[in-house]
C-alpha cells in the first residue's frame, strides 16, 4: 500500500473564522429510516457550497445588476466597474503578472478548451488527467502527447522531462491536484522542467486553488484555470489567467457581440483580449461572486486552513484504512502531498451502493463514479467505479466520523435498508423540497 503525506496536525474542529462561514452549514436532510440529520457534505470537490461572504456580496450587488460594457445608466456603470474590479481581484488572488490576462469563462473545462484553441504548438500532458485536462488536448490530434505517469513522483517528472527533451512542445499541461486521489505534483519542479525545454506550463487548478495558494508570478506558472463553483462561489463563472500573447493571437473563442472592434456585413475586426474571448453578455454575477470568494479566502490564515484540512484527511484515511476490505486509492508511492480528497472501495459492495447507503442511512454526501478521470480509474481500479469523500472549509471531525462509522457498520453488518440493482434505496421515502418535481437521477460524468 503506498503511503501519502501524513501531517502532525492535531486540530480537528471546524474552522471558526467568520470568513469561512458557509451557506447551508446547518442544512438537515431526511434519512430513509425516518427523521432528519445535519447534512455531512463530503462532496466538496465536485461543487462547494457558497461562502456566506460570497452570497452577501452577490446580494449587495444584485440591486445594481445591469448590462456590462453596454449601457449608459448608473447601474450599468456599476456593473461594468464591478466586472472589471472582479477581474483584477481574481488576478491578484493568484499572483498574476501585470501583463497577464484574466479571461472570465464558465469553468475550468471552458478555460482549458479556450487555451487549446490558442496553443501554437504541441502539448504534453499526463495520461491520468481529469477529462477537462485531457479531451481538449486530444482534440488537437497528433499535436497532443500523453506521458504515462510512473509509480513515483520523481519517475513521473523524469518521464515528462524526457518527453519534452525528445521533441519540443509549446505547452506542458498538468492537473494541480488530483480530483481522485488528492495528490499534488510539485509545481515548482514542473515549471522548471517545462521552461528548461522551452515549453510554457498550464495548471488545471480546479482542485488545487480551493486548497492551496498559487502565485503565478512567484512560481513562474504561465496559465492557471479554475472554477468558481469549486471555490465556494457557485454562480457560473470560472477563469483562465495567464500570458496574453497566445490568447491575443488566437481566433475568438465565441463569435458575437462584445468581442469586436468593428463589423461590416462581411468582415469583422476582433478586439484584443480579454474582450476577444468573451463574446455575449458577460456573467457579471459569477465574476463578482468569484472575486468575493478570492478576497475571503485570501483573508483566511493559510496555515490554519492547511492544518484543518490535513488533520481531517489523516483522520479519514486512518479510519478507513483500519477497516477490513476497505482500500484507498493512490497513484504515487512514497510521501506525496495531497489535498483533502480520499477515494476508496469497499469489498463486496458496489461504489454506487456505498454512496447511496451513506446518504440514505447516515446523511453523508459523497460521490461515486469514475470522476471524469476514466484513464486514471482504469489504472487504479481496473476501470471500476469508486467512492470519493472530499473535504473543505466547512468540514468537521463529526462529518468524517459519521462517514467512517457508516462504513464500519456497512462492513460489519451490511446496510439496514433495501437497495435496488443500481444501488438506490428501494423504497425511498425521502421527500424532496416541495418546489422540486423531478428526481433528476443521472449519470453525468460517471
Among positions 153-192, residues that touch ligand PMP (CB under 6 A) are 175, 179
What is d(CA 315, CA 307) in angstroms, rounded to the nearest whole number?
Answer: 12
**Cα distance between residue 75 and residue 367, in whole Å:** 41
Interface of this chain with ligand PMP, residues 245 to 284, rule: CB under 6 A: none
Q: Taking CB under 6 A as the rule, does residue 207 contact ligand PMP?
A: yes
- Of 41, 55, 96, 107, the one binding ligand PMP by CB under 6 A: 107
**Strand pairing class (386-390; 367-369):** antiparallel
Shortest Å distance, C-beta 337 to ligand PMP: 15
Q: Which is nearer to ligand PMP, 21 or 132 (CB)?
A: 132
Instruction: Name the CA dihedral angle for 330, 334, 336, 338, rounded to a multiple of 10 degrees.
Output: 40
- How many CB atoms sit inside 10 A of residue 34's CB? 8
- Secondary structure E strands in 246-315: 260-264, 267-270
Q: Is 103 in the site for ligand PMP (CB under 6 A)?
A: no
* Residue 169 grid cell: 512542445
Contact flag: residue 390 with ligand PMP (CB under 6 A): no
Choose one: 73-81, 157-165, 203-211, 398-406; the region binding ligand PMP (CB under 6 A): 203-211
Binding residue (CB under 6 A) for ligand PMP from 52, 80, 113, 227? 227
List the grid coordinates of 189: 519542479
Segments of 265-407 assigned E as strands: 267-270, 326-328, 341-346, 364-365, 367-369, 386-390
For ligand PMP, the nearest residue by Cβ is: 179
Active site (annotated) includes residue 294 = no
The residue (of 63 and 440) whose beta carbon lies closer to ligand PMP is 440
- Least CB distance to ligand PMP at residue 405 (A): 27
Integer Cα distance of 245 and 273 in angstroms: 9
Report H helices in 302-428: 302-321, 351-362, 374-381, 397-413
Q: Is 130 in the site for ligand PMP (CB under 6 A)?
A: yes
Cβ–Cβ under 8 Å, residues 188 and 214: no
Q: What is the 3-state secondary structure (H, E, C) of 15-53?
A: CCCHHHCECCCCCEEECCCCCEEECEECECCCCCCCEHH
In the complex, minimum distance from the CB of residue 351 to ligand PMP, in angstroms, rounded to a whole number: 16
Residue closer to ligand PMP by CB (options 227, 381) is 227
Beta-carbon count within 10 A of 206 CB = 27
Smallest gap from Cβ 22 to ligand PMP, in A, equals 18
Question: With binding defined as CB under 6 A, does residue 79 bind ligand PMP?
Answer: no
Region of 95 on the Ramachandran plot (φ > 0 left; ψ -120 to 50 alpha; else beta): left
Tell me which of 109, 328, 343, 345 binds ligand PMP, using CB under 6 A. Answer: 109
**Residue 343 to residue 376: CA distance in whole angstroms:** 12
Question: Whole-number minimum distance, CB 360 to ligand PMP, in Å?
Answer: 24
- Contacting ligand PMP (CB under 6 A), which of 4, 41, 108, 328? 108
User: Of 116, 201, 206, 237, which lies in the binding site for ligand PMP, with binding defined by CB under 6 A?
Assistant: 206
Nearer to ligand PMP, 91 or 228 (CB): 228
Nearest to 320 by CA among 343, 339, 337, 336: 343
Number of Cβ atoms within 10 Å of the Cβ of 315: 17
| Minimum distance of ligand PMP from residue 391's CB (angstroms) | 14
Cis omega before residue 400 (within 30°)?
A: no
Q: How far is the CB of 26 from ligand PMP (least distance, A)?
A: 26
- Which residues lie below 8 Å from residue 360, measured CB to CB, with a gap of 6+? 31, 32, 33, 417, 425, 428, 430
We find the least distance from the C-beta atom of residue 331 to ligand PMP, in angstroms, to be 13
Q: Which stretch binds ligand PMP (CB under 6 A): 29-37, 128-136, 313-321, 359-367?
A: 128-136
Catalytic annotation, pick one of 294, 372, 405, 445: 372
Residue with cell 468581442: 259
Q: Is 58 in the site for ligand PMP (CB under 6 A)?
A: no
- Give the interface segment with ligand PMP, choosing from 106-114, 187-195, 292-300, 407-415 (CB under 6 A): 106-114
Q: Is 132 a residue that touches ligand PMP (CB under 6 A)?
A: yes
Which residues between 362 and 381 bind ligand PMP (CB under 6 A)? 372
The residue count for binding ligand PMP (CB under 6 A) is 15
**In the complex with ligand PMP, which residue's Cβ is closer, 126 or 307?**
126
317 Cβ contact partners less than 8 Å away, ≥ 6 residues apart: 4, 6, 328, 342
User: What residue ranges bind ligand PMP (CB under 6 A)?
Assistant: 107-109, 130, 132-133, 175, 179, 204, 206-207, 227, 229, 238, 372
User: Would you name the residues annotated as active-site residues?
Assistant: 372
Amino acid at each position: 500500500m503506498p503511503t501519502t503525506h501524513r501531517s502532525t496536525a492535531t486540530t480537528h474542529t471546524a474552522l471558526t473564522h467568520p470568513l469561512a462561514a458557509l451557506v447551508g452549514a446547518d442544512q438537515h436532510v431526511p434519512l430513509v429510516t425516518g427523521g432528519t440529520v445535519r447534512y455531512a457534505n463530503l462532496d466538496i470537490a465536485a461543487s462547494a457550497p457558497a461562502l456566506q461572504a460570497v452570497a452577501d456580496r452577490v446580494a449587495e450587488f444584485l440591486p445594481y445588476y445591469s448590462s456590462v460594457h453596454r449601457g449608459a445608466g448608473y447601474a450599468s456603470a456599476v456593473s461594468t466597474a464591478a466586472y472589471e474590479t472582479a477581474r483584477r481581484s481574481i488576478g491578484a488572488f493568484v499572483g498574476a503578472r501585470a501583463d497577464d490576462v484574466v479571461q472570465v469563462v464558465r469553468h475550468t473545462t471552458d478555460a482549458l478548451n479556450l487555451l487549446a484553441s490558442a496553443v501554437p504548438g504541441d502539448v504534453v500532458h499526463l495520461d491520468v488527467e481529469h477529462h477537462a485536462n485531457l479531451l481538449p488536448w486530444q482534440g488537437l490530434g497528433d499535436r497532443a502527447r500523453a506521458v504515462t505517469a510512473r509509480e513515483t513522483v520523481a519517475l513521473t517528472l523524469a518521464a515528462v522531462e524526457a518527453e519534452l527533451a525528445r521533441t519540443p512542445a509549446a505547452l506542458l499541461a498538468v492537473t494541480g491536484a488530483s480530483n481522485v486521489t488528492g495528490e499534488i505534483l510539485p509545481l515548482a519542479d514542473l515549471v522548471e522542467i517545462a521552461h528548461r525545454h522551452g515549453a510554457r506550463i498550464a495548471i488545471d487548478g480546479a482542485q488545487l486553488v480551493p486548497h492551496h495558494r498559487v502565485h503565478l508570478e512567484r512560481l513562474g506558472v504561465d496559465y492557471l484555470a479554475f472554477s468558481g463553483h469549486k471555490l465556494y462561489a457557485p454562480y457560473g463563472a470560472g477563469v483562465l489567467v495567464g500570458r496574453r500573447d497566445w490568447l491575443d493571437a488566437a481566433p475568438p473563442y465565441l463569435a458575437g457581440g462584445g468581442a469586436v472592434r468593428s463589423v461590416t456585413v462581411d468582415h469583422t475586426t476582433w478586439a484584443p483580449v480579454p474582450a476577444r474571448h468573451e463574446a455575449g453578455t458577460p456573467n457579471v454575477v459569477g465574476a463578482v461572486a468569484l472575486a468575493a470568494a478570492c478576497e475571503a479566502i485570501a483573508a483566511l490564515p493559510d496555515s490554519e486552513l492547511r492544518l484543518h484540512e490535513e488533520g481531517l484527511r489523516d483522520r479519514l484515511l486512518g479510519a478507513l484504512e483500519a477497516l477490513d476490505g476497505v482500500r484507498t486509492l493512490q497513484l504515487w508511492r512514497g510521501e506525496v502531498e495531497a489535498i483533502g480528497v480520499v477515494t476508496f472501495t469497499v469489498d463486496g459492495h458496489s461504489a454506487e451502493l456505498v454512496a447511496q447507503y451513506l446518504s440514505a442511512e447516515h446523511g453523508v454526501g459523497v460521490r461515486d463514479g469514475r470522476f471524469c478521470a476514466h484513464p486514471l480509474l482504469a489504472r487504479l481500479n481496473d476501470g471500476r467505479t469508486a467512492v470519493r469523500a472530499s473535504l473543505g472549509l466547512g468540514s468537521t471531525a463529526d462529518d468524517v466520523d459519521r462517514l467512517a462509522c457508516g462504513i464500519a457498520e456497512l462492513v460489519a453488518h451490511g446496510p439496514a435498508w433495501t437497495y435496488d440493482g443500481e444501488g438506490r434505496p428501494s423504497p425511498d421515502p425521502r421527500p424532496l423540497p416541495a418546489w422540486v418535481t423531478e428526481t433528476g437521477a443521472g449519470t453525468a460524468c460517471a
